Structure 1
Amino acid sequence: MNFQQPAPLIRPVQPDVEMKPLPFYDVLDVLIKPSSLGVTTTQRDNQEEYFILKAEQVRKLFVSREILPGGRMNYNVQIQLRFCLSETSCPQEDNYPNSLAIKVNDKLFRLPGYALPPKNGMKQKSPGRALNITSLVKHTSSVPNKISVTWAPEIGKIYSMSVYLVRQLTSHLVLQRLTMKGTSNPDHSRAQIKEKLTADPDSEVAITSLRVSLMCPLGKMRLTLPCRAVTCSHLQCFDAALYLQMNEKKPTWLCPVCDKKAAYESLIIDGTWGSTPVRHLRGLPQTHAYPHCHYLIQMLSNLNGEVVKQ
């Protein structure tokens, strides 16, 4: 009888894969560089990786710890495990292999996250995210840490795993960094308004007014720091602070106005709204046209629904 031997493990050593930076984490050190998960002909694959913390890295973990009620430990500096596709064309987002199972130092790590609703009657794959494995890591520089990964291979897809020492950031600090980027040029908003008013000159129905709400679609409160993604085409803004707080708890990074991708790096404080002091915005009606673009608008609607000329 002839017995087929299992195919040898095909594993490119540390390919040139770059992970997409996460807004709420600063990378302090790379513990395991992006390393491809090998592929065999078996139904499930397994791979082990090892790393040893340096004395300075152990110290950073120790000084960042906080004892919570019940004796649980919270760490501001964390050990973070990430997975992604082994693609080098651009920085990669977190992406889990199918049927992923993880053990850290022979202890099972339960994947967090949330399930997506079924699409067309089919179960959707859970979105990938960075994994905090700090509690299962040995906080010493004398003993190695082992990460065991088991997954189901996919045709035409190879995944990579990597491990980092990171510092977690608060939404307040991330908001400060966003404001330091500056604001969008008001001329950009003027151009958008002009384009919308003259979008279809042959149409029998002419657009004579544009209404922009001063209420944030997230918190249903007045906008304090109007923000939107440069990838969005709408004029409506959302509040930057509320948007960051929402994504700090559940990172979806979807625009609350158009439901399209609005990643942190694409966010910008709207320069037109920002040029009007917040104390003045509070005295305006719930819907208001951009004040610096009124010369582009032929008609405005007031709170009573009456049409007034401007």
Structure 2
Amino acid sequence: MASHTSIQGLAGTVNARLKTLVNAILKKICKEEGLQQSGNKPVLQRRILDLIDEAVRNSDTDTFQRLRHRIYNQGDAPQMGSDSPSTPVYSTAHTSPAAPTRNGFVQPFAPLAQQHQMAHRQQHLFKDSPFYDLRQILVEGIVLEASPSHRQNCTRLIALEPEVCDRFKADPTLRILLFSSIEQPLANYTRQDVAFPSQIEVRVNGEEAKANFKGLKNKPGSTRPADLTDLVRKTPHYKNTLLITYALTQKKYTLQVCMVQKHSIDDLARRIARRNVITKRSVMNEMLKKANDPDIVVGSSIMSLKDPVSTLRISIPVRSTLCTHNQCFDAESFLQLQEQAPTWQCPICNKTISFDGLAVDEYFKEILDSVPKGTDQVTVEPDGQWSNEKEESTPRNSGYGYGGSPDSEEELVEISDYRVSAIKNEAYTPQSLTHTPPLSSREASTAPRTGSKRGSEVIDLTLSDDDEPPRPAKKALPNTAPHTRTSYSNLARLH
């Protein structure tokens, strides 16, 4: 059993490490230690620090070791045979000088097999995905150094053990994926997004791997690992050549080749349906709470039964437990989109969501099961009641009037009004008056224009033909015949 002084000396380092953890790990530690999980990051840290201080005051080595293991291992509990809570803490006075040190305190020696197992458990530092589970790391330690101007090559060998080859033959869901991430100072303590250099080419045994290495623009984490399964030969101890060519990168990358077990979209959708459910009663209570709030005016709303991404009818209605809207989307369509580009944003409100937070809405599912398959939307009242009565829409003009049928005599009404005939007479223009002047007469005139503009004429369409004012008489053209005769007589007199 370690003394009170040795535990107190390690508490400062453990407390400093605790402040670097994210909220998810802090909540995980609080949950497994029986503490409350509510509150922000400082509140969660304070609860764990109080538990550490209590263990130091009481010289409780088991509790201190358990908390220390959780803080340095992403909240995971210590396993039997490894650095368990019962393992004594060795101080520098009782340890050989050759003992390894880390973060200011001495690490206890463990068997080589346990160290190898712990190293493999902590080497995979990529974010988890619901589409696959890690089974084994095949190749690790691939480092791509920064190369801002030159083209670089990196070659590794992928040799599969006989038991690994047998697993591939027995389980078709196993895949070989290439992971990559940007090297960061705290990479050993955080989960990294998959990211490849902007200019990269991957070849296995001379064949190029067809994969999207860039993901979505300005969307970190939307890149998928490259699938190398079909390019790797599953022969025991066969040396598959992995050639990576890259250029124009200012950052350093770390790569791994892993064997994973892939999950299909149908399996994930069924897992959501079995695991999480939003009950109809909870949805109704929330809607009634908003309807009875005097500060909120709530009216009827239209709820679409189509998926906002695929525009198809929703089959499995899901939404995140973090969302406040009642509109759902289809589970399979959403998962297919995330498999191609994992952004994990709600298609309704654009909130960041997770696979574990998706749940089936029983209220929405009851609506889908009650209405005909051709129904696209329903009207939802503030109290939760809904209806699918379609409003009678006005038919479009089909050439037969309002009714749209040539045989319907009830819809054909003849209107006899003198004002209609007047409108027809005014609108009619004889063809003789629509003569278009020649092109030369339509050209811009060089004569100076007068300052006065022609006044606009107002035509009263409600007048009849009898009440219409008389039109002005046409101007008579000047007669040029006398001038012509005079000119000819003068010409004869000159001769």
TM-score using structure 2 length: 0.45
Distance change (3 Å), C-alpha of 1:217 and 1:63: same
Q: Which amino acid aligns with 1:83?
A: S
1:113·1:126 contact (CA, 8 Å) conserved in 2? Answer: no
1:101·1:149 contact (CA, 8 Å) conserved in 2? Answer: yes
Residue of structure 1 equivalent to 2:255: 161
Gaps of at least 5 residues in structure 1 are 1-12, 65-74, 306-310
Q: Does 1:18 align with 2:115?
A: no
Q: Does 1:272 align with 2:372?
A: no
Q: Give the Cα–Cα distance (whole angstroms) in 1 for the partners of residues 269 and 329 of structure 2.
A: 14
- Which of 135, 139, 155 matches 2:230? 135
Higher relative contact order, structure no. (Cα contacts within 8 Å, ≥ 6 residues apart): 1
Task: Name the Cα RMSD after superposition.
Answer: 4.1
Q: Give the Cα–Cα distance (whole angstroms) in 2 for the partners of residues 135 and 224 of structure 1.
A: 33
Residue of structure 1 equivalent to 2:154: 47
Once the two structures are TM-superposed, the CA of residue 161 in structure 1 deviates from its matched residue by 1.3
Q: Give the Cα–Cα distance (whole angstroms) in 1 for the partners of residues 199 and 289 of structure 2.
A: 48
Q: Which has the higher helix share?
A: 2
Q: Deviations over 1:74-121 (max 9, x none)?
A: x6432111112333454333211221222323443343478757x8xx
- Which of 211, 214, 217 matches 2:308? 217
Q: How many residues align?
A: 268
Q: Give the Cα–Cα distance (whole angstroms) in 2 for the partners of residues 127 and 245 of structure 1.
A: 13
Q: Give the Cα–Cα distance (whole angstroms) in 1 for the partners of residues 124 and 293 of structure 2.
A: 43
Q: Which amino acid aligns with 1:171?
A: I
Q: Give the Cα–Cα distance (whole angstroms) in 2 for the partners of residues 139 and 194 of structure 1.
A: 60
- Which of 202, 206, 219 matches 1:102? 202
Q: Give the Cα–Cα distance (whole angstroms) in 2 for the partners of residues 236 and 184 of structure 1.
A: 13
Of all paired residues, the percent bearing the same amino acid is 21
Distance change (3 Å), C-alpha of 1:231 and 1:40: same
Gaps of at least 5 residues in structure 2 are 1-118, 393-495
Once the two structures are TM-superposed, the CA of residue 209 in structure 1 deviates from its matched residue by 3.1
Residue of structure 1 equivalent to 2:242: 147
Q: Which amino acid aligns with 2:232?
A: V
- Of 165-174 and 240-249, more deviation after overlay is shown by 240-249
Residue of structure 2 equivalent to 1:7: none
Residue of structure 2 equivalent to 1:6: none
Q: Does 1:27 align with 2:114?
A: no
Q: Which amino acid aligns with 2:191?
A: P
Residue of structure 2 equivalent to 1:8: none
Residue of structure 1 equivalent to 2:383: 294
- Of 101-110 and 175-184, more deviation after overlay is shown by 101-110
2:287·2:383 contact (CA, 8 Å) conserved in 1? Answer: no
Structure showing greater radius of gyration is: 2
Q: Give the Cα–Cα distance (whole angstroms) in 2 for the partners of residues 106 and 56 of structure 1.
A: 25
Residue of structure 1 equivalent to 2:456: none
Q: Which amino acid aligns with 2:200?
A: L
Match of 1:224, SS state, is coil
Residue of structure 1 equivalent to 2:177: 80
